[in-house]
Amino acid sequence: MRKVWIPIQLNENSAEPLYHQIESQLRSLIISGQIKEGTLLPSIREFAGGLNCSVITVRRVYQDLENEGLLRTKQGTGTFVAKVGDTQREVFRREAVEEALKSAVDVGLSVKCEEEELKQLFLSILHRKYHPEQEEGEA
């Protein structure tokens, strides 16, 4: 059983609570398969120390992800990444992207961005992200 280092980036200046930042990044790492099924996660205390946050924050993250079926805890052994089926992975992937897009649209609405302008902006960003080599050639 190997324990893994988890690459979580926290932004102390973000309005998003720390637990939510940790939870969403850890969820993404699990769903994308970057952290494999059966991987032993750091103890709550170790993880909190490594992230420089409270034990309560990490406990909440582990509990939430366990409730979602992404983690499982064995008493006296630790917390492990659970098996994520392809259907479950696809649902999580879609929900994560949908949530991010809804947030982006909400920001657009809040700054009075027209639908067509938002659509063009999205398509432009999409193109740049999927074809970065074209950006270099144009510069």
Digitized pLDDT (tens) for each residue of the chain, 139 residues in all: 556 778 999 998 889 999 999 999 999 899 888 999 999 999 999 999 999 999 999 999 999 999 988 999 999 999 999 988 888 778 878 888 898 899 999 999 999 999 999 999 999 999 999 999 987 655 5
Q: What pLDDT does 1 receive?
A: 55
Burial letters 20-44, b for 16+ CB under 10 A, else e: ebbbbbbbebbbeeebeeebebbeb
Do residues 26 and 8 touch, judged by C-beta distance below 8 A? yes
Q: What pLDDT does 3 receive?
A: 62
Residue 42 tokens read as 């750091």
Q: What pLDDT does 136 receive?
A: 62
Q: What pLDDT does 138 receive?
A: 58
